[in-house]
């Protein structure tokens, strides 16, 4: 939506148009109920903050509608939107780019024919190693938004070696049905913070064993 020109407003400043004029804009995102012919939600973004993927996910999360079939064009081809719709319990039909393009379909093992009906399961992981690939995990880069996978933390942490050794030992003994990515996930859940520049380092005092006599009559 084009609004009044204001060169001093960096939030709405868009660009110079084909005639060389400065344009200020707002971006309108909306959900429309085609059966009842009404708008059910609207989210307005500034030009600087325009992100249709985020807007769609936000409107999905805050909607109170049930029994929804979300129908959107290929501009909303995004795994994060798929996940938000699934978590909401919505069905969805989203057009994707051709399998010979750079869209989602290009990374899938699809039949060569033009028409097909198949089920595809994707399991995402932030770690890209040979182990995770062999286990069937699809790598999700940290710069790609996916709200249901934690990004790399800004805080430096260290492994809790006591817990990590126990987890690895249980895995090697094959007492539990764990795959390598599950082992990594368990270790990541038991990490300790590293506090650079800490003047009073943590002091760990070993505890001596306490013996006692137990008399059985």
Write the DSSP symbol of residue 73: -
CB neighbours of residue 56 within 10 Å: 23
Give the tens place of pLDDT for each residue, 174-216: 655 555 556 777 787 777 766 666 666 555 566 666 665 666 5
Domain ranges within the chain, ordered by starting residue = 1-50, 64-109, 121-152, 153-195
Q: What is the pLDDT of residue 34?
A: 95
**Stronger pLDDT, 207 or 121, i.e. the higher one:** 121
Place of tokens 């990490």: 191
Q: What is the pLDDT of residue 102?
A: 84
Q: Does the pLDDT of residue 86 top 70, yes or no?
A: yes
| 3-class state of residue 53 by DSSP | helix
Average pLDDT of the segment spanning 86-97: 94
Q: Does the pLDDT of residue 35 top 90, yes or no?
A: yes
Average pLDDT of the segment spanning 125-147: 84
Q: How far apart are the first and last CA of the chain?
A: 90
Phi, psi of 207 (to 5 degrees): -100, 125
Q: How many residues does the chain have?
A: 217
* pLDDT band with cut points at 50, 70 and 90 for residue 171: confident
Average per-residue pLDDT for the chain: 82
Q: Which residues contact 215 (CB under 8 A, 6 or more apart)?
A: none
Write the DSSP symbol of residue 106: G
State the pTM of this model.
0.65
* pLDDT band with cut points at 50, 70 and 90 for residue 10: confident
């Amino acid at each position: 939506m084009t609004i009044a020109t204001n060169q001093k407003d960096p939030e709405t400043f868009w660009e110079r148009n084909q005639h060389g004029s400065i344009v200020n804009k707002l971006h309108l995102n909306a959900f429309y109920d085609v059966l009842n012919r009404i708008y059910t939600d609207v989210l307005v973004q500034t030009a600087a903050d325009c992100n249709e993927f985020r807007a769609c996910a936000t409107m999905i999360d805050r909607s109170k509608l049930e029994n929804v079939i979300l129908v959107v064009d290929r501009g909303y081809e995004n795994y994060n939107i798929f996940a938000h719709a699934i978590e909401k319990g919505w069905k969805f039909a989203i057009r994707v780019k051709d399998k010979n393009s750079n869209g989602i379909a290009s990374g899938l093992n699809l039949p060569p024919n033009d028409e097909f009906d198949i089920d595809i399961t994707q399991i995402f992981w932030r770690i890209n190693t040979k182990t995770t690939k062999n286990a069937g995990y699809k790598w999700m880069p940290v710069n790609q938004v996916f709200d249901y996978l934690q990004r790399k933390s800004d805080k430096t942490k260290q492994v809790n070696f006591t817990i990590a050794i126990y987890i690895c030992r249980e895995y090697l003994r094959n007492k539990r049905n764990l795959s390598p990515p599950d082992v990594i996930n368990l270790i990541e859940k038991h990490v300790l913070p590293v506090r650079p520049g800490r003047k009073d380092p943590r002091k760990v005092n070993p505890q001596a064993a306490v013996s006692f006599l137990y008399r059985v009559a």
